[in-house]
Amino acid sequence: MKIGDASKAYAGVKVGRRPAAGGVRSEGVTTLSDQTVISGVPEAELTPKVREALTALMSEVQSLRAELAEARDRVGNLEKLADRDPLLDVFNRRAFVRELDRTMAMIDRYDMRASLVFIDLNDLKKINDSMGHHAGDAALRHIASVISSNIRQTDVLGRLGGDEFGLLLTQADQATAEHKAEELSRAVSASPVSWKGDAFTASVSCGVVEIIKGHSVDETMERADSAMYDVKSRKNAG
């Protein structure tokens, strides 16, 4: 490897061209020689040991840059994993609350419309007791898949814990969000859960609230949670 080429990888080594002794100026332009200059020293004046040391140093810098790029990739992957639910391919509670907080800040500043939907898998305990917890996990994965397939890229789905999901619908008022929740509920019921060569039907209850400007994240989540339990109570009473 030529010192002149390798030195480009090391920011501390400056490579340039030095005018030949007695260089001639023609119409304001200096005629340059072919001497390579490293940190102000012509390559020809470098001793073999200095040249060897610079080569080793530049090789080390290149290696460190490669290690840094690899470390950044690993950090990016770990950040993505930290946001995902360990069972389902959706946001976990922490990441969902972060997105909700961000959306509420947009609502407060720009008067954007958005709604929050709390979604509960009905009778998860019965599924677990009658068919086992793996069947319950299959039902949760199925619901997450159906909902994810029927929302926009701008919407946010997350698992809040246990059998509860949160869905953040941007640019959606109360009526629009209620219509979407009904649509998702029908889609879940119409698509049986595959389990051990057989299938069973799962259903959900949805509580919908339009996000109110000035309310906190906790207040908004409590309203949605109450709306969802009101829906479940009416279903159980019926």
85, 3, 12: which is closest to 45 by C-alpha?
3
Rounded Cα distance, 128 and 189, in Å = 18
Examine the residue annotation and report whether 85 is marked as an active-site residue of this protein.
no
Q: Indicate the residue type of 227.
A: A
Catalytic residue among 163, 198, 218, 225: 163
φ and ψ at residue 210, rounded to 5 degrees: -80, 140
CB 164 within 8 A of CB 119: yes
DSSP state of 144: H
Question: Who's near 16: CB < 8 A, 6+ residues apart?
Answer: 36, 37
Query: Strand, helix or coil at 190?
Result: coil
Say what the alpha-carbon torsion angle 146, 147, 148, 154 is, to the nearest 10 degrees: 160
Judge contact between 3 and 46, C-beta under 8 A.
yes
Q: What are the b/e assignments for 35-66, b being 16+ CB within 10 Å?
A: bbbbeeeebeebeeeeeeebbebbeebeeeee
Neighbours of 230 (CB within 10 A): 12
Active site residues: 163
